[in-house]
Amino acid sequence: MEHVLKIADEGKGYPLTCKENESIMNALLRQGIYVSAVCGGRGTCGKCRIQVVEGDLPVTPSDEKKLKKEELEAGFRLACKAVPQGDCTIRLHFQTDEAFNVVAGRESAAAREKAASGYAIAIDIGTTTLAMQLLDLDTGKAAGTYTGINHQRAYGSDVISRIQASNDGKKELLRKSICRDLLAGIRELTGSMGVERDQVKEIAIGGNTTMGHLLMGFSCEHLGIFPFRPVDISTIRRPFSEILKSDELDCDIVLLPGISTYVGGDITSGLLSCGFAENEKVCLLVDLGTNGEMAVGNRDKIFVTSTAAGPAFEGGNISWGMGSVAGAISNVKITDGKASVTTIQGAEPEGLCGTGVIETAAELVKAALVDETGLLDEEYFGEGFPLAEAVSGDTITFTQKDVREIQLAKAAVRAGMETLLLRYGVVYDQVDTLYLAGGFGFHIDQDKAIDIGLLPKAFEGRIKAVGNSSLSGAEQYILDEEAKQKVEHIIKISREVELSTDPDFNELYMDHMYFERDE
């Protein structure tokens, strides 16, 4: 039995259908409508809000936890938990995520000796975003850039949620989702430049192991359970038509190899981009995201690891958290107990992105409104510290729970970093450069990251934000005739440090839960 599900005020060919006992979110996803649901449909993030216009949707326990009484009375519900008992009409009130502020690369992605004329495309598949560069092989320069959202976010903001969704029977939906996103970006790039089908010679992709598995349609059954075995993390080269199920281009797609299940091709690509294959000096690469991947080493030896930082750096699990879109608070200053904020694109405040989370925590600690244990001042313990008035008229606050989330995230990253250095056998002074990769690392205020203990003070003056090093490495893989050998060398000399079984990691993790600035 199916129910008719109408979308009010959209004018896009609705109505839709909703199967018996199917949530509205799953019905929307099944019929090609993207829903931002960073919790993966567990009813905990509150991002998938809808409003009943006609029909009846019972209030669920998740609705009662995430929505105010007046919102419930006005017909607001969470789409992930709303199961229609009959036909209904709704309005969509969730964030589209289409305006994400995506870092596409770094200026220093150097052109190398080219092997062919024509074009190639470098791609980074991130858990949250996509970034692409159309490369002119005659000049070695970028001819066009595309950034967008990885719409697999509808199945959860982190790789564990995606793995679970794949294992729960949604593997093909996830594969089709990323294929649609990639094809949309490729069409935009080639169409805007008038590039013909036979002019694109190669596509190189950097991405974490889970993203590679979902793109290839591999089983994720063993990615999320010990001993975490991937299907294939070697260099994969396949025809465009085989991977994307489309004949729009006639070239090969190459997926850069990973080092381990949780240190994937995006980190290999970053290591290539930052010169680890040829550098004599020991350097550290840290990619700050839901999974804090990091590597230390030089041309002779590289150690890598991954630590589960959680989604706080991307605004996840934060009361007013959101992605890096217009209206997200990105900068915070607290003076005399009052906050002043800056938002992305200067838009009216709607919530906090990852950099705003870091800055708020640092400012609260500096103002002695959060003590070294992470306890928020008694005055704000119940309702949270007020930051700004939202577009909705509500007050955007930073709560005790939010403080704990950033404590957990920063402790995981810092402990992972120090454990990795310990196992490699070097101290801070012996590391030449700390490369901060990713959009969060690119925009972060390094001083405030040091203030809360996320980054060591010992690296002050030696921290370099490199932007999207995964994309830069994919570019280099195409343009540098020696890149394939360099990648093979990186894989050969790399060894994983497993934090879950490391005797020092847990102790360091507890030590770095505190908000104590290094001296």
Q: What is the pLDDT of residues 367-388, one digit of tens each?
A: 999 999 999 999 999 999 999 9
| 117: CB partners within 8 A, 6+ apart | 137, 138
Domain-located, residue 493:
no
What HEC string does 379-445 produce? HHCCCCEEEEECCCCCEEEECHHHHHHHHHHHHHHHHHHHHHHHHHCCCHHHCCCEEEEHHHHHHCC
- The mean of the pLDDT values for the chain is 90
Domain-located, residue 77:
yes
Q: What is the pLDDT of residues 243-252, one digit of tens each?
A: 999 999 999 9
Q: What is the pLDDT of residue 104?
A: 63
Domain-located, residue 389:
yes
What mean pLDDT comes out for the span 112-118? 56
b/e code 162-191 from CB counts within 10 Å (16+ = b): bbbbbbeebbebbbebbbebbeebbebbbe
Could you give the CA distance from residue 103 to residue 287 in angstroms, rounded to a whole number?
A: 13
Residue 109 has pLDDT above 70, yes or no: no
Q: What is the pLDDT of residue 98?
A: 53
Q: What is the pLDDT of residue 112?
A: 41
Q: What is the pLDDT of residue 519?
A: 63
Q: What is the pLDDT of residue 129?
A: 86
Could you give the CA distance from residue 156 to residue 166 in angstroms, rounded to a whole number?
A: 11
Could you give the CA distance from residue 30 to residue 50 in angstroms, rounded to a whole number?
A: 17
**How many CB atoms neighbour CB 366 within 10 A?**
16
Query: How far is C-alpha 374 from the chain's CA centre?
Result: 25
Residue 16's pLDDT band, with cuts at 50, 70 and 90, is confident
Residue 14's pLDDT band, with cuts at 50, 70 and 90, is low
Residue 148 has pLDDT above 60, yes or no: yes
Domain-located, residue 359:
yes
Tell me which range, 27-41, 185-199, 233-247, is most confidently predicted by mean pLDDT.
Answer: 233-247
Q: What percent of the chain has pLDDT over 70?
A: 93
- Structural domain boundaries, residue 14: 2-92
Domain-located, residue 351:
yes
Residue 37 has pLDDT above 90, yes or no: no
What mean pLDDT comes out for the span 47-60? 90
Q: What is the pLDDT of residue 265?
A: 97
The domain spanning residue 69 has which CATH number? Answer: 3.10.20.30
**How many CB atoms neighbour CB 58 within 10 A?**
11
Domain-located, residue 111:
no
Domain-located, residue 350:
yes
Q: What is the pLDDT of residues 236-285, one digit of tens each?
A: 999 999 999 999 999 999 999 999 999 999 999 999 999 999 999 999 99
Residue 105's pLDDT band, with cuts at 50, 70 and 90, is low
What HEC string does 287-347 produce? ECCCEEEEEEECCCCEEEEEEECCHHHHCCCCCCECCCCCCEEEEEEEECCEEEEEEHHHC
152, two tokens? 């697999």
Domain boundary among 345, 371, 398: 398
Q: What is the pLDDT of residue 102?
A: 58
> Which of 284, 292, 188 lies closest to 512 in space, CA to CA?
292
Cα-Cα-Cα-Cα torsion 171, 173, 175, 178, nearest 10 degrees, comes to -140
Domain-located, residue 297:
no
Could you give the CA distance from residue 140 to residue 109 in angstroms, rounded to a whole number?
A: 10
φ, ψ dihedrals at 503, nearest 5°: -65, -25
Q: E strand or H helix at 270, and its extent?
A: helix 265-273
Residue 495 has pLDDT above 70, yes or no: yes
* CB 38 within 8 Å of CB 311: yes
Tell me which range, 35-44, 57-66, 155-164, is most confidently predicted by mean pLDDT.
Answer: 57-66
Q: Is 511 exposed, middle or buried (0-12, 13-18, 19+ CB in 10 A)?
A: middle
User: Residue 239: beta bridge partners?
Assistant: 252
What HEC string does 76-124 produce? EEECCCCCCCCCEEEEECCCCCCCCCCCCCCCCCCCCCCCCCCEEEEEE
CA atoms within 13 Å, Cβ hemisphere of 97: 25
Could you give the CA distance from residue 457 to residue 429 in angstroms, rounded to a whole number?
A: 11
Into how many domains does the chain fold?
2
Hey, is 205 helix, strand or coil?
strand
Q: What is the pLDDT of residues 455-487, one digit of tens each?
A: 999 999 999 999 899 999 999 999 999 999 999
| 85: CB partners within 8 A, 6+ apart | 3, 56, 58
> Which of 169, 427, 185, 406 lies closest to 310 in space, CA to CA?
406
208, two tokens? 């974490």
Residue 322 has pLDDT above 90, yes or no: no
Q: For residue 214, what is the DSSP state?
A: H
119-125 and 200-207 beta bridge pairing: parallel
> Which of 18, 16, 24, 15 lies closest to 3 in space, CA to CA?
18
Q: For residue 207, what is the DSSP state?
A: E
Helix axes 171-193, 209-216, angle to 10 degrees: 90
Query: How far is C-alpha 156 from the chain's CA centre?
Result: 11
Q: What is the pLDDT of residue 115?
A: 43
Residue 491's pLDDT band, with cuts at 50, 70 and 90, is very high
Q: What is the pLDDT of residue 428?
A: 96
| 12: CB partners within 8 A, 6+ apart | none
283-287 and 302-308 beta bridge pairing: unpaired
More confident residue, 29 or 151: 151
Residue type, position 386, single letter: P
Domain boundary among 52, 68, 92: 92
Hey, is 264 helix, strand or coil?
coil
What mean pLDDT comes out for the span 347-357? 92
Domain boundary among 92, 122, 152: 92
> Which of 391, 330, 385 lies closest to 357 in space, CA to CA?
330
Residue 43's pLDDT band, with cuts at 50, 70 and 90, is confident
Cα-Cα-Cα-Cα torsion 431, 437, 443, 447, nearest 10 degrees, comes to -20
